[in-house]
Each structure stands twice: as structure tokens, then as C-alpha cells.
Structure 1
Amino acid sequence: MRRFLPLLLVALTAAGATVASFALSARWWLAAGPLLALTGLGGRDLLQRRRSLPRNYPLLAHLRYPTTRSAHSSDARAKEGEERDEFLVPSLRPVEAAEEPPVVRVGGPDCRLPYDMALLNVSAMSFGALSPQAVLALNRGAALGRFAQDTGEGGLSEYHLRGGGDLVWEIGSGYFGCRGPDGGFDAREFADKAALPEVKCVSVKLSQGATPGSGGVLPGVKVSAEVARERRVPEGVTVVSPPGHREFSTPRELVLFLARLREAAGGKPTGLKLCVGSRREFLALCRAMAAEGVTPDFVIVDGSEGGTGSGPTQAAGRLGMPLTQGLITVHNALVGVGLRDRVRIGASGRVATGADIVRRLAQGADYTNAARAMMLALGCVRARRCHTGACPAGVATQDPLRARALNVADKARRVRHYQRETVRDAVRIMAAMGVREPGELTPAHLLRRSGPGVLCSYAELYEWLAPGELLAGPPQSWAADWKAASPDDFG
């Protein structure tokens, strides 16, 4: 409650100055006037519902806005600096932009209920990492805009279900949402929840960019009674997911687990999410797919530059491949074993603009997911206090007094507007490149400056395998990893 003290002090001082102006001297109005105006401003901050920060920090928020805008501008300049040597290729024969945004059909030959995925969706963010209001606003935004929300590994909460949006239900190593008494996977509960009409796809999380190689962390301060019930863990105690899954320990066991989940989900698209660390490991997974004749319907590739709204991210950016390298690795591996046409690839990591979407499609993705940008649409001010539970905007907190400041209806519209305009921008960029459908984009559409006066396309910068090339005889650059990859050992 300390955040309300400045307003209280200003109001009390204003009252004292007003009394003094009547009782002592009219000169006190010189102080009473500005103080009364500030009191009125603070009162308006408390009563308005469009902006979360002033509602949680009356008066003080107005001091932060200039620094917030400056931080956002600095981030934008940093990103522009990183990407100024890379650009998309316009065409001298542009085409008309499509009236309706394209969608991507997700569902391989073993999928009985394929799903049409939007080009941009809500990336994995759990209830627990985000407040109930934030989760619900994202879900309602997804329903308004007809795109999907990834639940994150924290379970399938009522806030994911209440807004009517399409869901990608993420199953992490803690099996939250389908967790048995011993902390293992509960197949019956999974089947019951996967049958819900809101659940369109199921995703098994192997790793994420913020914490690859280790389980997710939710600090105890964010484990409210409601979160504890959903995850079936003790209230107020830090939750650390196991680093790996109990249900499988080899690539072969993983693909067979995916097949079990797909069958239990009634044939809904089932896939996996990972931050790529080793090309050999993913090739081992591809060998298992080929050996068993079982493929995921999709693979979501997370970049090592990804973040989290749950806990500290000391390892972020230091473990795993950045999204570009991970995406190209997964695409090439699937092409090389002749399975790319059965598996859709989602790209998750620093996707914020229409140009970002087009870049990722040119690098091998079929669709994209965004987390940070969606949080900004909710009103996140990037205070970097997610792990403390003291989010000033009510986005990444379980404090009901802070979360109440987030207006669900307003933020849902903002989320929808952001997604719609970003996809429209991507479609316009593709049209300027002479491309009507996302599948027409190739690595040749993306150029990068590789040296003074030297421009190369991604088709030249990276090696791109031909369909089935790994099976027919891998190129020398892939031969050692392909030979060492085993369907029975992640290696």
C-alpha cells in the first residue's frame, strides 16, 4: 500500500493548506491550488480504468512515463542496430495484398482434427507467471482476432477457458493441469481436458529460450492459493519444474508419447516446443520419427534470446541457439529426412513487427508466436520486476490489488488490434515482395550484409538440404552429426 502514500500525503497537505487559506491568509491558496490540482489528478488516476500504471501508482506513474518511453525507444534502437544489415527484397512486380490474412493448416497424416493457425499467435505464458486478468485479456483478444493462445506450462486455468479463445495447451515436465499425486503424468485427466472444445492443439514443452536445459521456475511470492490449486503444489513455495520429463528419456520414446497424446486428444494436432541446443540431438529425434513412422504435427522453435514472466533469467541468451540458427536447423533436418511436408514449424522469440514475421517465414517457419509484444499490448512497462510479484502494471503478478488495475475488456481489444495490424503489415510486405502466400517465401528473399560492400541472401549464407538428402547420403558438413544421431539416445 506504500504506493498510495504520495497521493495521501498530497491530499492531506492540500486539505491543510486549504484550511489555512481560510483561517490565516489568502496567500495559502498559492500552495493549496497546485496541491488540490495534484489531488484531483491522483483521484482521476485511481478511478480511470484504461491505464494500469496510474491506477496502481497514482501521481507517481506520471514521473515514470518519460523514462518508460525512453527505455522503449532505446530497445527499439538496439533492435534496429542489430537488424540494419539485414533486409527483405522488394519486387519490381508487386502484387495486391490479400484481403483476408492467410492461415496455416496444422495437422499431419495422423491428425484427425487439423487446425488453421494464424501467422501470429500468443506465445507460451502461464497462469502464475501472468495475473488472472492478463491471461483472460489475452484469451479474449485471441477470440476477437481468431488466433491462438499458448497456455504455457502452468496448466489449463479457468482464465484460459473463460474468454472463448483457441488454445494450444502446453504440457511441461511438471505436468501441471494433468498432474498425478506423485507429480507424474495423469493420462485420464489429460484426455478429459484435451477433449474441451477450446483446446485446439497440444504442445509438449522440452525446453524454452529463457531457461533451456532446466525446468521452469515460479517464485513462491507468485504461488497464490489459486495458482497452487491449479498446479497442485504448496501455496507460497517456489515451484521448480523437473529438468526433464518422466514419460520419456529417448527420442523414440518421445515420438511414441506424442502419438499417445494425439490419440488421447481425439486426433487434435500434437507437437513439441524446444530451444535447439545440439543439431545432433534434433537429428536423433528425426531418426526416431523415420524409424517409427510417427511425426509431430508441429515443432515450435524458441530462441535463446527469449524471456520469461515467471522468474529470473540469468541463463537467457547464454544457453541454446538463437532463433535464426535454431529455426534453420530444424527446417533443414526435417527437409533432409523427407518429413518437412508433415510438420509445421512455429517461430517464437523477438517477433514483434510484420517484418519480423516475414523474416521468420523466409528462414523456414510456417507461423510465429509473440510473448513480449503481447505483454506490451497488455500495458507492460518493462519494469523487469516479473519475478518479484510486484508488477506495476498488473500483468505479471498474483497480487489482486495490483492485478485489479488491468482492464480486461480494454486490454483484450488492444491485443486484438496489435495482432491484426501486425499481420496486415506482414501481408503488405509480402505483397511488396511479389508474394501472395507465406509458402512462397524462400531464403533468397532475405539479404544480409556479410562484409563491406558484400550482400548475400540467406540462400547463399546457409546450407539448405534437399528433400530426403540425409537419407540418400548426407553432405560432408552434416555427415558426422547424422552418423552419431541415434533414435534411442539424445546423446
Structure 2
Amino acid sequence: MNLSLLSRYAFFVSCVLFTLVSLAFLQHQWLWPFTLLGAALSLIGINDLLQTPQAVRRNYPILGNIRYLVEGIRPEIRQYLLEGDGDKLPFSRAQRSLVYARAKNQGADKAFGTLLDVYQDGYEFIGHSMRPAAPADPESFRVTIGGPQCRQPYSASLFNISAMSFGSLSANAIRALNQGAKLGNFAHDTGEGSISPYHREHGGDLIWEIGSGYFGCRDQNGHFDGERFAEQARSPQVRMIEIKLSQGAKPGHGGILPKHKVTAEISATRGVPMGQDCVSPARHSAFSTPIELLQFIASLRELSGGKPVGFKLCLGHPWEFMGIAKAMLETGILPDFIVVDGKEGGTGAAPLEFTDHLGVPMREGLLFVHNTLVGVNLRDKIRLGASGKIVSAFDIACVLAIGADWANAARGFMFAIGCIQSQSCHTNKCPTGVATQDPQRQRALVVEDKAQRVHNFHRNTLEALAEMLAAAGLEHPAQLDARHLVRRMSATEIKLFAQQHVFLKPGELLGEAIAGEFYARMWQMARADSFEAAQA
């Protein structure tokens, strides 16, 4: 028994030992109440170890019940103790409660109206119709991904699991996510950690993310290996290929999996040695210009047998993305999809300055990418996904209204499998077994139970979206646009999303007159042959 396990079970073991020892001294009547208390606590601990729904209790028998006792009285004390300005976690407790409720098939309704300040700057809402529509079937909320150069298009759900790697997440977490995706017929992004055996156990649809480390398709020097890529990419379970240019929480930084989390399984899955930090470089070695990026996309599409290939990025320098758009026009090579991540996106660990101050927020990045593709007459040929703190049906509606075709979520699905946001992902001591490689800790996460919760969260969120759209008089998410959502700008002014943003017209970047000086200047600076800016 290791020290970590001993420390977590110390109180439970102490109760059991005390009960056994005190039974030998029952002739002392004064000891009976303490013996009964020890026996009761021991039974609670045994029940905690055997039950499956609550991972904290399995990892911390007896003591873990304190969390759920506090959770039980939270509605009464929330306003004074648990909410308010002091809650600085990446997601509020209200958001986590929404996910937990939907994952457990519990009602998310609440009494007494909203706790939000509807007169605060930034408050957003959807306008409803005088003639609501009948709610659509959420199972019809799908989008076909695969442009004219794709031979195996994929019908994706409107809501999918965003990139989270095996290595960052435990084997049981990956199993639960993928089984949930299989149950709900939606996609599971592998993250850049490659395709592990645990991704394959339940057969859920995979989006294989390939980062700068080329894990799962690299040679001994860490460079891209086409043969190894083709071997995995042609698996029927792999439905799309996603090149990660950057991620929201640390764009331009690269990533690292500490050596103490690099197990033999991770080493085999990623093709990296044990005993060393597993490093994802900040930049790719397979391409260095926009044209070379598109040539790499064409190569991956051919090697995969014609499956959809695209890329994910957190927008940085605007002229760089416009350079990619110019390269599309010059080469005729198109990605099948683009996923726009926001700088508000999450990660296991990142420098504080990167988390707080680097990269473009998701909505601004999404709108820019959408506008650029519209402006070069390519928007109808390329699908757009969005990710970055998307949890609720309203979050999905917001990104659809400004240009996305579908949405991805990471932490929402992490909450569904039991994450309590302890922010210990990088320590290998996750209390719920979600983000750890410790086999004893991840044992607490029961796959079958959590997989059902993943399925429930996905289904209930899309049902909520269907109800919101129906209230707005809409029958399908494709009808949603920037006219339907509203934002408070000040105490005396509200604006439709359509009034807040510049929306380019089809082909506008190809003509002489471009709406807005910003888009005109960025287009002038963009280069197809280099990510460096031309002289404006």
C-alpha cells in the first residue's frame, strides 16, 4: 500500500482498528458508545468503497461524505457562502450544478427566477417568438463534415467532446467518455495524446487530434511518420483528423506531460520514452508556411483514405489566418473543417500569463474566421466548430448565432464524469480519478456509471437547446443567426448580436470595397507563402 493510498484511507482504517480493539473491552460500559460510533463509521466507510456513483467517497471513505453533506445544504447557503464575487474557479458552481443535474437525469429547473443581474453590462439572452414552434427532435441536430475534396464525409452531432488526451486524463475517464459517446452517437476528440487502447474499447466515434509532437504517428526523432499515421487513420473508428495548431489556454506555448505521469501505456500510445517529460513543441515541423499547411492537409486526407481533415487553432495574429485563406485560393486545397478554440479554454497546467493574457477569446476568433471564409467565398465548403467554456444549451446557441456549425465541450463532460474542479490535474492526485494515472485513484471512477452520465448530459443539453429554439420560433439550429440573440451594452442600451458585429458579404475580401478598415488592413498584410506579415 503506497503512502498516498494510506493517507486517504487512514481515517477509515483507524475506525476499523478502533472498533476491533474496543470489542475486546466491552466489559467497560463507558466504552460502548465509542465502539458503536466506530462500528457505524466503519460500515459507512465500507459502503463508500463499494458504492459506484460518487468517486470522492470511493477515494476518501468516510471523510468524502463531508463534500456531499455540504452539497446537500448548498441551495440554502449558496447566496451567502458559495457563490458571489469570491468564486474565482474557471466555472461557477451554478454551471457545475447544471451539468451534474443533467448528467444524473435530474431536473435543472429552479424556483424564484434568475439570480443574474439582467441590468448588468454583458447580460445576454435570446428573444422569444409570439408564435413558438414545436420542439425539434435533438437527434436531428447533426452536421455533415466533408468538403468537395473529401471521400468519406462524417455526420457529426451538433455537440461533441472536445480534445482531452489519455495521459492528462485517466484510462477510466477515457473509457467513460468514449462509451458515453457511443451511447449518444456523438464524437470524442482524442486530444493530441493519440489513440490509446482505452479509446478503442467501446468503439465510440473518434476525432484524432495530431499536435506538434505527432504522438502515435512519429518517428524516433519526433517527426511525422506517414506510414504510422495511415495505419491508425484508416481505422473505421477514426472519423476525422484534426491538426492542432494551438489551443486556447496556452497558444504558442506547446505542452508537457510530466515524467511522473508517463506510464508504460502512455509511452506505447504516444511513442515516447519513459523517464522523460513528454514535450509537445510550440511549433510544427511538418510545415512552416500556409501553403505547406494545406499541402500537409491534402497528404493526411489521402493517407487516411479520404476522411475529413481540418485544423484547430486559437486565433492569434489575424493576418496569419488570412494568409491560410489566401493559400486556399492559390492552391485550391481546402480543409474540411476548422475548429476555433478560445483563449478561455482549459488545460491541465499553463503559465498564468498565458492563461490570462494570450490569445483571442473564442467568440471574437470565431467571428473573424467565419467572416474571412465568407469574404473569400469558401464558407459553404468548410465547416466551423467552436470550443471554449461551452457548457449549456445557451452557450451552444451563442456560437451557432455568430457562425459555428457545431460546438465542442471539454470541462462540461469532465464534470459529467465526476470532476469537482480541484485544480490538481498536474499533480497526479486528482481526488475523483479523472486526471490521474494512479491506478488506485482512478479505480474510484466507475466507467459504466459515468458513461451513462456522459450520455445523459449530451442528450439533455440538446433537448434544452431544442426547447430554447422552439421558444424563439425556430425548428432547427441552422435557422439561428445573429438577429436572435441580444446583449446588454449598458444600463440603457441593448443590441442584437447582428448590430454589434461586422459581418462581411460573400466574396467581399476579393473585391475593392471591404467593410471595416480592420479587415482591409489584415487582408493586405496576409501572405500565402509565409506566416509573417507583409508591409501594410
Please give the range of the TM-score, normalised by the shorter of the 2 chains: over 0.9
Name the CA shift for 1:219/1:181 in 2 (closer, same or farther; >3 Å): same
Q: Which amino acid aligns with 1:479?
A: A
SS at match of 1:233: coil
User: In structure 1, what is the equivalent of residue 123 of structure 2?
Assistant: 85
**The one of 134, 144, 153 aligned to 1:96:** 134
User: In structure 1, what is the equivalent of residue 258 of structure 2?
Assistant: 219
Query: Does structure 1 retain, via aligned residues, the 8 Å contact 2:122–2:489?
Result: no
User: In structure 1, what is the equivalent of residue 519 of structure 2?
Assistant: 478
**The one of 3, 8, 32 aligned to 1:3:** 8
**The one of 263, 280, 291 aligned to 2:319:** 280
Q: Does 1:63 find its partner at 2:32?
A: no
User: In structure 2, what is the equivalent of residue 17 of structure 1?
Assistant: 22
Could you tell me the percent identity over the aligned residues? 46
**The one of 468, 491, 495 aligned to 1:456:** 495
Q: Does 1:42 find its partner at 2:42?
A: no
Could you tell me which runs of 5 or more consecutive residues in structure 1 were left unpaired when the two chains were aligned.
Answer: none
Structure 1 position 281, deviation (Å): 1.2
SS at match of 2:487: strand
* Map 1:319-398 → 2, pairs under 5 A: 319-398=358-437
Structure 1 position 234, deviation (Å): 2.2
Deviates more, 1:426-435 or 1:106-115: 426-435
Query: Does structure 2 retain, via aligned residues, the 8 Å contact 1:307–1:313?
Result: no
Q: Which amino acid aligns with 2:519?
A: W
Structure 1 position 76, deviation (Å): 3.2
Query: Does structure 2 retain, via aligned residues, the 8 Å contact 1:101–1:427?
Result: no
| TM superposition score normalised by structure 2 | 0.88
SS at match of 1:299: strand
User: In structure 2, what is the equivalent of residue 251 of structure 1?
Assistant: 290
Q: Which amino acid aligns with 1:391?
A: C
Name the CA shift for 1:287/1:67 in 2 (closer, same or farther; >3 Å): farther
Aligned-partner Cα distance in 2 for 1:77–1:187 = 45
Aligned-partner Cα distance in 2 for 1:363–1:302 = 14
Aligned-partner Cα distance in 1 for 2:47–2:8 = 16
User: In structure 2, what is the equivalent of residue 294 of structure 1?
Assistant: 333
Structure 1 position 18, deviation (Å): 3.0
Cα-to-partner distance string for 1:21-56 (whole Å, 9 max, x where unaligned): x23x22211211112111110111112222211111
Paired residue total:
488
Q: Which amino acid aligns with 1:161?
A: R
Aligned-partner Cα distance in 2 for 1:83–1:323 = 19
SS at match of 2:236: coil
* Map 1:68-147 → 2, pairs under 5 A: 74=87, 75-76=91-92, 85-99=123-137, 100-147=139-186
User: In structure 2, what is the equivalent of residue 418 of structure 1?
Assistant: 457
| TM superposition score normalised by structure 1 | 0.96
Name the CA shift for 1:456/1:78 in 2 (closer, same or farther; >3 Å): farther
**The one of 199, 204, 220 aligned to 1:160:** 199
Aligned-partner Cα distance in 1 for 2:382–2:356 = 27
Aligned-partner Cα distance in 2 for 1:334–1:384 = 37
Query: Does structure 2 retain, via aligned residues, the 8 Å contact 1:306–1:317?
Result: no
Aligned-partner Cα distance in 2 for 1:88–1:9 = 55
Aligned-partner Cα distance in 2 for 1:437–1:262 = 31
Deviates more, 1:335-344 or 1:95-104: 95-104
Query: Does structure 1 retain, via aligned residues, the 8 Å contact 2:121–2:488?
Result: no
Name the CA shift for 1:250/1:354 in 2 (closer, same or farther; >3 Å): same
Aligned-partner Cα distance in 2 for 1:365–1:355 = 14
SS at match of 1:177: coil
User: In structure 1, what is the equivalent of residue 482 of structure 2?
Assistant: 443
Query: Does structure 2 retain, via aligned residues, the 8 Å contact 1:89–1:433?
Result: yes
Structure 1 position 426, deviation (Å): 0.7
Aligned-partner Cα distance in 2 for 1:111–1:327 = 23
Could you tell me which runs of 5 or more consecutive residues in structure 2 were left unpaired when the two chains were aligned.
Answer: 96-115
Structure 1 position 236, deviation (Å): 3.6
Query: Does structure 2 retain, via aligned residues, the 8 Å contact 1:276–1:320?
Result: yes
Q: Which amino acid aligns with 2:124?
A: E
Name the CA shift for 1:472/1:149 in 2 (closer, same or farther; >3 Å): same
